[in-house]
Amino acid sequence: MLLKNATIITMDESNPVLYHGYIGTRDKKIVLVSEHLEERETAYGEVIDAKGKIVMPGLCNAHSHVAMTLLRGYAEGYSLQEWLFQKIFPIEDQLEPEDIYWGTMLGIAEMVRTGTTLVNDCYYFMDRAAAAYSETGFNANISRGLMNDQLKEDYSDDYRLKEMIELFESYNGKYDDQIRVECFPHAIYTCSPQYFRYIAKVADKYGIPVTSHISENETENRECLEKYGKTPVQVYQESGLLNRPVNIAHGVWLTDDDLEIVRSSGSTVTHNPASNLKLGSGIANILKYSNMGINIALGTDGCSSNNNLNLFEEMHLAALLLAGTNDPSLVKPFEILKFATVNGAKAMNRTTKGILKEGYDADFIMVNNTEPYYYPQHDPVNNILYTAQGPDVCLTVIGGRTVYQDGEYKSLDIEKVKAEIMRIKARLFE
Ligand SMILES: [Zn+2]
């Protein structure tokens, strides 16, 4: 595939924006990013004229629960603890494997429609989620949620852990590395320190990356301090879970001591501004974290606390919150775009994604820069950050394969997905 006449935001620091540029792909890789074309256009198969369009890396959603699309718009107006224990967990208890498959399919449709090409998806029945990702050509780091109700030292018979290990052995690196598997202890308030210690040993044994909800709201931190006399980060550290870089979702209430632990472990904080605002969880001071050298990524969280998987909205909110809680002059638009691209890829150990560069994966999107609200087109980076809407994406390519183009979903049957979702809704809610 060859794109020509494109305004390209490469996210490569040495060469961030190209005008009237070319992007060439061969198989699953990028083979050309340049303002010059040495070969003939006919050396490529499909040629797309990207005049008036902005091309950039596919967005990387570093924290979500994708099949929660099934719960979109169902429980509004609650704080985290009420929302989770009274509204979400009772419905989740009724979900069946095929529900997860169709909920994930709906999420994939929304993500390719709004420019996301890689997601960190923590949920359950993840073999069915893996099926949806493999069929649609979508990239995902998946994990099975881990929680415990019994206090003991040996969790070798824990069914959730067994499923997690099975998932890792069956799917990690599968479908030409489209799927990777991570380990997802849910949170300090659903897991005991003994369970954390056991999970840390399993993660070490198999070399499984870890992601978790940490210090999402003040109640979580307060209850943890009352129960253990320590912050959540301190409990994770003592259990051995922070002996590796962890993808920390939220991290809203991290203390200075916590931040030092997070920084020295090489961990990422994945900022979920829409979810944090909606559940009244607080606002993470990502400027401070970032200035300490902590990798910052962006996540949408699940669709019940957002209510979408649209990372353009998260970038926009991250920039506005950073300006509103610090100083507008400290917002660096290119840095915010990095949160949703290269930093997200790093959080998921995907070192050949998040940048448009020769040899990197051909995961990119094209945004229609000719809508009236983009004019007078002063600066493509500013337009992407402050102006662009998810549905302005007109082309999504993953691994060199077009999965969405001008209203057409190339790797899924959108009407079938919608019909299945309505059937599941009727069973669960009516
Ligand atoms: Zn979450």
Contact of 91 with 140, CB cutoff 8 Å = no
The predicted pLDDT at position 430 comes to: 85
pTM value is 0.98
Residue 352 backbone phi and psi in degrees, to 5: -115, 25
Ion ligand 1 neighbours (CB, 5 A) are 301
Report CA(264)–ligand 1 centroid distance (Å). Answer: 24
Q: Is pLDDT of 150 > 90?
A: no
Q: What percent of the chain has pLDDT over 90?
A: 96
- Please enumerate in sequence order all residues whose Cβ is within 8 A of that of 2, keeping only pairs 6 or more positions apart, or say none: 22, 23, 24, 25, 32, 37, 41, 43, 44, 46, 47, 48
- Please state the rounded mean pLDDT for residues 172-182: 98
| Token duo for residue 362 | 């051909």
pLDDT for position 314: 98
Handedness of CA 330, 273, 118, 138 (dihedral sign): negative
pLDDT average, residue stretch 54-83: 94
**pLDDT per residue as tens digits for the range 339-377:** 999 999 999 999 999 999 999 999 999 999 999 999 999
The per-residue pLDDT for 149 is 87
Ligand 1: centre distance to CA 214 (Å): 10
Provide the pLDDT for residue 1.
Answer: 97
Q: Residue 384 has what pLDDT?
A: 98
Measure 10 CA to ligand 1 centroid, in angstroms: 29
Exposed/middle/buried for 365, CB within 10 Å: 0-12, 13-18, 19+? buried
Angstrom distance (rounded) from CA 77 to CA 144: 27
The whole-angstrom separation of Cα 353 and Cα 57 is 8
For the record, the structure tokens of 306 come out as 């957002």
Give first-to-last CA distance, the chain, whole Å.
Answer: 47
pLDDT surpassing 90 at residue 80 = no
Beta strands 246-250 and 210-214 are parallel
Q: How far is the CA of 394 from the centre of ligand 1 (A)?
A: 28
107 CA to centre of ligand 1 in angstroms: 15
Q: 399: pLDDT confidence band, cut at 50, 70 and 90?
A: very high
CA torsion through residues 115, 106, 133, 64, sign: positive
Provide the pLDDT for residue 75. Answer: 86
Tokens in use for 425? Answer: 């809704």
pLDDT-based confidence at residue 110 (cuts at 50, 70, 90): very high
Beta carbons of 117 and 365 less than 8 angstroms apart: yes
What's the gap in Å between 186 CA and the centre of ligand 1? 8
pLDDT in tens, 205-253: 999 999 999 999 999 999 999 999 999 999 999 999 999 999 999 999 9
